[in-house]
Amino acid sequence: MIRKLGFFVGIFLCGFFFSQKKEELQKQNIELKKQIASINTNLAKTQKESKLSVAYLNEVNKKIQLREKVYTNTQKEKRLIEDDIYLRQLEINRQNKELAVLRKNYAEVLVKAYKNKGVQNKVTFILSSKNLGEALRRVQYLKDYSDYQNKKATEISDAAVKLLQNVTLKQKSVNDKVTILSNQQKDLVTIEAERKLKENLLQEFKKNEVQLTAELKQKQGQSKKLEGQIRSIIAEEIKIAKAKEEANKKAEAEKMRLAKIAAEKEKARIDAENKARMDALALEKRKADEEAKRLKDISDRKAAEEAERAKIALLADSKKTEDAKKAADAEKAESRRAEAAKDAAIAAANAKAAAEKATTARVAEANLVKKNEDAKKAAETKTMTNFGVTSAIGNSFVANRGKMGMPVYGTITHRFGRQPHPVFKNIVEENNGIKIAVNRGTVAKCIAPGTVSRVVVSGDGTKMVMVKHGDYFTVYANLANTMVSANQQVAAGTAIGGVGEDFDGTFTLDFQIWNGGTPVDPLGWIN
């Protein structure tokens, strides 16, 4: 029973993971085929322009790699299907054996039932019981036996249905395998044809090696000349920037000096305007303090008198039984004490009011001082602004590293730094940026806000645009035309110019980023 249960679990898990893995491979193949379709579209566009180009060869290489991945995934899918067929067959064999046993057992049950058929036999079986209890048990036995027959019949029916389902699923897997084998044959034919196309392209390169090498060296010479121009322009820009910086520093220092003088004058004026009010408040505060002290002294004196009179009244009260006169004196003393207490309460209230008035005067004085300081700060800020003294705005180019968009979208044919030529391995290229092959009519766009430093026409008629971003420069070279001019302010996404045709017939943008006089890899900056 445990082995049987384990087998069921194994079949279920294998089926689950098979389905999951198969779907994953199919999704990968769909995505790969989309990429292949995109490459085919690009190749169709560039086929009329020039087949003999590095960009075209790169696209063919990429397509072959993608088709090989599709073939590898198909192989994996085929192995999964073969495993599924094998497991299904094992399950079918097991179910056949189980069905045979069920049918055999059911046949035996039917034979016994046939031998004991008829209502009379069942009645005789029940009536031959020794007592009522046994008769009831025999009735229950006959009912259970009938249910058992029905149950076995249902088990056979269910087993037959499951067997049929597995046979159907196995046949589906067999059909899928046939389809995959057919597709694999087509993929192999296509891969072989594309490999031949690649070989033909390489042969064409080799056949035209002398001419292409000469053109490539000529292009490298132009690139060196362009690099010299870029370095010269950047050096001049840095020199101009330093001179401007020095002049700005001097001008800023002078502005600061004049602003401080003006601010001090404004502060003095505000102090003079507020001096009279400050003096009046101080005098009022002093008078309030003196009045509070005087009233407090009176209150204290009245309180002392009231205490003394209370003492006398207490003495008189203790002796009023001695004679009536003394009682009358005590009554008068009590009256004087009550009057003194009233005077003391009035004096205390006056003292409290005077203290509150003094506190109000101190708060008013503090508020005036704060208002005076705020007015002086506002005057200083306004004066600094009027004299043009402001804080410097930081460069956002570095802050946006890795977030800036591509100048154009296409195929990167040449990467930054020293790279061997993809066809002529004896030639090493030194690239100060990247080269991006695009479709005819593509327009290069600025990757970040800045100022157009120069628009330069190269010896071969193509144009170059340099954009300054603080200490950094972006270079857009091999342009057929330009859409900006020197000293123009540009934003991210501003059209710079149309991409021009390269010597091999492809349309390629030479894009570079310079940090001062040092070129950096653009792929570390653009997204």
Q: What is the CATH number of the domain that holds 493?
A: 2.70.70.10
Q: Are 510 and 522 a contacting pair, CB within 8 Å?
A: no
403 exposure class (CB count in 10 Å sphere: 0-12, 13-18, 19+): exposed
The tally of CA atoms less than 13 A away on the side-chain side of residue 478 is 27
Q: Which of 180, 213, 246 is the last residue of a domain?
A: 213
Partners of 501 in the beta sheet? 507
| Domain assignment present for 37 | yes
Instruction: Give CA angle at 148 (146, 154), nearest 5°.
Output: 110
Backbone torsions φ then ψ of 458, nearest 5 degrees: -80, 170
In a domain, 2, yes or no: no
Supply the pLDDT for residue 54.
66
What does each C-alpha distance from 489 to 171, 468, 486, 492, 498 come to in angstroms?
A: 69, 10, 9, 10, 19
Looking at residue 271, its pLDDT comes to 75
Question: Is position 135 within any domain?
Answer: yes
Give residue 141's identity as a one-letter amino acid code: Y
Within a 10 A sphere around the Cβ of 100, how many other Cβ atoms?
A: 11
**Any residues with CB less than 8 A from the CB of 298 and at least 6 apart, and which?**
347, 350, 351
Q: 507, 473 in Cβ contact below 8 A? A: no
**Cα–Cα distance, 126 to 143 (Å, whole number):** 12
- Cα 168 to Cα 15, 163, 164, 197, 527: the distances in Å are 15, 9, 6, 43, 51
Question: What is the predicted pLDDT for the residue at 393?
Answer: 33
Please give the Cα distance from 163 to 159 (Å, whole number).
Answer: 6
Q: Measured between alpha carbons, how far is residue 487 from residues 245, 452, 482, 499 in Å?
A: 18, 5, 14, 21
| pLDDT at res. 478 | 92
Residue 214: both structure tokens together: 């000469």
Residue 404 tokens read as: 């800036």
- Per-residue model confidence as pLDDT tens for the chain (527 residues): 455 555 555 555 555 555 667 677 767 767 766 766 666 666 565 555 544 566 677 777 787 888 888 888 888 888 888 888 888 888 888 878 887 887 787 777 677 766 665 545 666 666 777 788 887 887 787 787 777 777 777 878 887 788 788 888 888 878 887 887 878 788 788 878 878 877 777 776 666 656 656 666 666 667 777 777 788 888 888 777 777 777 777 777 777 778 778 778 877 777 777 777 777 777 777 777 777 778 778 877 777 777 777 777 677 666 655 555 555 666 666 676 667 667 667 766 776 776 677 677 677 777 777 777 777 667 666 655 565 544 333 357 888 898 899 999 988 888 898 877 666 666 677 888 999 988 889 999 999 999 999 899 887 788 999 999 988 999 999 999 999 999 999 999 999 999 998 877 788 999 999 998 899 999 999 98
Nearest-CA neighbor of 397 among 241, 525, 238? 525
Domain, as residue range, for 485: 396-524
pLDDT at residue 513, rounded to an integer: 94
Give the pair of three-digit tokens for residue 419. Answer: 């790279």
Q: Which residue has the tokens 């090498």?
A: 213
**Domain end among 188, 213, 238:** 213
pLDDT of residue 392: 38
Q: Residue 429: which H helix or E strand, with range?
A: strand 428-431
Which tokens hold the place of 499?
């991409």
> Does the residue 514 lie in any domain?
yes
Q: Is 304 among the domain residues?
A: no
In three-state secondary structure terms, 20 is helix
What confidence score (pLDDT) does residue 364 get?
A: 73
* DSSP codes of every residue in 76-88: HHHHHHHHHHHHH
pTM of the model: 0.46
Residue 521 has phi, psi (to 5 degrees) of -70, 115
Note whether 503 and 485 are within 8 A (CB).
no
Compute the distance between CA of residue 99 and CA of residue 104 in angstroms, rounded to an integer. 9
Q: What is the DSSP string of 46-71?
A: HHTT-SSSHHHHHHHHHHHHHHHHHH
In a domain, 373, yes or no: no
Q: Are 477 and 447 in contact (CB under 8 A)?
A: no
Residue 481, number of CB atoms within 10 A of its CB: 12
How, if at all, do strands 507-515 and 518-520 pair? antiparallel
Overall number of domains in the chain? 2
**Long-range CB pairs of 193-201, under 8 A, 24+ apart, other chains included:** 194/60, 194/63, 194/64, 194/67, 195/64, 197/60, 198/57, 198/60, 198/61, 198/64, 201/51, 201/52, 201/56, 201/57, 201/60
Rg for the chain, CA atoms, rounded? 52
pLDDT given for residue 483 in this prediction: 93
Residue owning tokens 């034979």: 111
CA distance 480 to 499: 6
Indicate whether 146 belongs to any domain: yes
Nearest by Cα to 519 from 231, 264, 171, 263:
231
Using the 3D structure, point to which of 213, 237, 269 is the last residue of a domain: 213
Residues paired with 466 in a beta bridge: 454, 475
